[in-house]
Amino acid sequence: MDNIFKHKTFQNINFKDKSLIVTALTHKSANQKINNEKLEFLGDRVIGLVLSKKLFDLYPNETEGVLDKRFAILVRKKTCCDIAWNLELQNLIIAGNKKYEITKKDEKILSDCCEAVIGAIFIDQGFNFVKKFILKAWKKDLDKSDITVLDSKTKLQEYSLKKFKKLPIYRLVSSSGPKHNPLYKISVSIVGTKTYIGAGRSKQEAELDGANRLLKNQNIS
């Protein structure tokens, strides 16, 4: 446990309740009763509040729709996974199989852990402290948020609505692999196209992959 609090991410935080961080780093495969799921739920909301307020202040003249797209990129699983990786949380996560090595492919585990850690810091240190922690951790992503990037799902939805007045259709094809590292396959189609299959470690990732495949194969820019 001592290695957790000597870690660069936590060494300068004077925790009142150290068990909170241990719980935040505990995946349910290691402990079905005491794990990071509830802290993840809380952390997700704290991150959302801090980043939405920051975007509100950064872009006072933007429409709600544009702010929402910027926000979605900042809080998506891939971004939270990258934040966790940058904080080197992968070296601290407690999973059921001690021989299991967390890699960048474990997007859900890493993103959930990131949110749980934020939740734990919020409870232990309060809002002002966790706000500074979040803004520092997300600084590079916030700096890039002045560039509006439409993800493949958004592009496909806008195209389909404009051309056919209908939304793309997504369907779960399969879910395989262990609970802590599942692989989803999801089909996507729009009017007049065949069905394309996307794969990913989360449903959102699989949908993005499927949408991207459809856009590329149909030469939709």
Active site residue ranges: 44, 115
- Distance separating alpha carbons of residues 91 and 4, to the nearest angstrom: 9
β-pair partners for 26: 94
Write out the DSSP string of 126-187.
-HHHHHHHHHHHTHHHHHHTTS----HHHHHHHHHHHHHSS--EEEEEEEES-TTS-EEEEE
Contact 184, 172 (CB under 8 A): yes
Q: Determine the length of the chain.
A: 221
